[in-house]
């Protein structure tokens, strides 16, 4: 875990003393990543949340991630240090509008990106993350599939599965949607040898100029295994800290303007306070938990 500041050291002591596992998303600030037991993408964190032996999960990420951990492990206490750390895209669809939309497409299964609220997940057939979206949609027998809420990710899945008809929802991630081809080309001019790695939440035009499209964890794996030594990172800039730490012999070039303000809301003091108070906790209705488990577990069972 390397050298920790006094506040980080205290966090680690409390986590052990109170039987808490700390999970952090790849976009969290460096000080938070450094005190986590596990840092990863949405899929890894969801899997670790179900398997962790500790009685409490402290989730450093946005709201939907902490909610999914609670739905998958309802017997555990799940702490989300700053509940206002919310993914705006996850709030671009809600249960009622989705129920209405489904009426226009009877019998068509709904795939929900995990970047949705627990209320929305209660209405869907299966969930997916950016790491397994193509696999999840391919696993469905139906030729037509409704995909919510990320229209960019939905279009990427469509490009990989031309035999399917993907019905899109008009949602998007403002951070990835704002990444432009000009930005990528500008970085490429400065670093002509670098490979371009982008997240599938980017627009089709940006995806078109990429060498690799992957989830945040997929980008780390690709960079580690690639013979190339330089990479332009087309996602939220926080991932670059993790990449430089894990793969110190390679060069990672961030897009400095790609910042998710919600992912940066959790500070190291918030983590300490949450551990001391054992809250704020994530609370979901029993009915919502019951209806979230099948779509999440179906996704996890695909491996
Ligand atoms: P990953 O699951 O690829 O880490 O992505 C999560 C996310 O919020 C992307 O913006
Ligand atoms: Fe949501 Fe985009 Fe932030 Fe990810 S980067 S949490 S999708 S707003």
Average pLDDT, the chain: 97
Give distance in angstroms: CA of 160 to centre of ligand 2. 23
Q: Which residues line ligand 2 (CB under 6 A)?
A: 62, 87-89, 115, 173, 175, 201, 236, 260, 262-263
- What tokens were used for 242? 């993790």
Classify the phi-psi angles of 278: left when phi > 0, otherwise alpha if psi is within -120 to 50, otherwise beta: left
Give the domain ranges of the chain.
6-85+263-283, 89-172+289-302, 179-254
The residue whose CA has the least distance to atom 7 of ligand 2 is: 173
User: What does the pLDDT look like over 227-284, one tens digit per residue?
Assistant: 999 999 999 999 999 999 999 999 999 999 999 999 999 999 999 999 999 999 999 9
Q: Are 278 and 77 in contact (CB under 8 A)?
A: yes
Predicted local confidence at residue 210, as pLDDT: 98
Q: What is the DSSP string of 122-160?
A: TT-SEEE-TTTHHHHHHT-S-SEEEEESBHHHHHHHHHH
Question: Which ligand 2 atom is nearest residue 27's CA?
Answer: 5
Whole-structure pTM value: 0.97
**Confidence band (pLDDT; 50, 70, 90) for 2?**
confident
| Per-residue pLDDT tens digits for 128-154 | 999 999 999 999 999 999 999 999 999
Partnered with residue 168 across adjacent β-strands are 147
Q: Atom 1, ligand 2: which residue's CA is nearest?
A: 87
Q: Provide the CATH topology of domain 179-254.
A: Rossmann fold (3.40.50)
Cβ(178)–Cβ(204) under 8 Å? no
**Cα separation of 219 and 205, whole Å?**
19
> What is the C-alpha separation between 46 and 38, in angstroms, rounded?
11
Rounded to the nearest angstrom, the distance between the alpha carbon of 89 and the centre of ligand 2 is 7
Say yes or no: do domains 89-172+289-302 and 179-254 share a fold.
yes
Strands (E) in the chain, as ranges, are: 20-25, 38-40, 56-60, 77-79, 110-113, 126-128, 144-148, 165-168, 195-198, 212-213, 230-234, 251-254
H/E element, 85: none
pLDDT in tens, 169-210: 999 999 999 999 999 999 999 999 999 999 999 999 999 999
Ligand 1 site residues (CB inside 6 A) read 26, 41-42, 115, 129-130, 173, 199, 201, 215-216
CATH topology for 6-85+263-283?
Rossmann fold (3.40.50)
Evaluate if residue 1 carries a pLDDT over 80: no
What's the mean pLDDT in 104-124?
98
Among the bound ligands, the one closest to the CA of 215: 1
CATH superfamily of 89-172+289-302: NadA-like (3.40.50.10800)
Q: Is the dihedral of CA 37, 38, 39, 42 positive or negative?
A: negative
pLDDT of 285 reads: 98
Could you read off the pLDDT of 11-55 as tens digits, one per residue?
999 999 999 999 999 999 999 999 999 999 999 999 999 999 999
Report the separation in Å between the CA atom of 194 and the middle of ligand 2, taken as the mean of its atom positions.
Answer: 25
CA of 90 to the centre of ligand 2 (A): 8
**Residues 62, 86: contact at Cβ < 8 Å?**
yes
Mean pLDDT of 74-85: 98
């Amino acid at each position: 875990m390397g050298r920790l500041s006094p506040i980080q050291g205290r966090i680690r002591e409390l986590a052990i003393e109170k039987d808490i596992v700390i999970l952090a998303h790849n976009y969290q600030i460096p000080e938070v990543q450094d005190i986590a037991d596990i840092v990863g993408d949405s899929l890894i964190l969801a899997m670790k949340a179900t398997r962790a032996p500790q009685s409490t999960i402290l989730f450093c990420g946005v709201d939907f991630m902490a909610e999914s951990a609670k739905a998958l492990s309802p017997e555990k206490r799940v702490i989300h240090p700053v509940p206002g750390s919310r993914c705006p895209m996850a709030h671009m669809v809600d249960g009622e509008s989705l129920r209405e939309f489904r009426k226009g497409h009877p019998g068509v299964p709904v795939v929900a990106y995990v970047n949705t609220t627990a209320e929305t997940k209660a209405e869907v057939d299966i969930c997916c993350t950016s790491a397994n979206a193509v696999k999840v949609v391919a696993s469905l027998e139906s030729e037509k599939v409704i995909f919510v809420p990320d229209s960019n990710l939905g279009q990427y899945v469509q490009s990989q599965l031309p035999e399917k008809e993907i019905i899109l929802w008009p949602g998007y991630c403002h951070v990835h949607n704002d990444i432009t081809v000009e930005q990528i080309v500008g970085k490429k001019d400065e670093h002509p040898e670098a490979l371009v790695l982008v997240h599938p939440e980017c627009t089709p035009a940006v995806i078109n100029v990429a060498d690799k499209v992957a989830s945040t964890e997929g980008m780390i794996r690709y960079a580690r295994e690639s013979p190339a030594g330089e990479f332009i990172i087309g996602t939220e800039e926080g991932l670059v800290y993790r990449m430089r730490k894990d793969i110190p012999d390679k060069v990672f070039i961030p897009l400095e303007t790609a910042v998710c303000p919600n992912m940066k809301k959790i500070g190291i003091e918030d983590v300490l306070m949450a551990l001391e108070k054992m809250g704020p906790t994530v609370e979901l209705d029993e009915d919502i938990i019951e209806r979230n488990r099948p779509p999440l577990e179906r996704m996890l069972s695909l491996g």
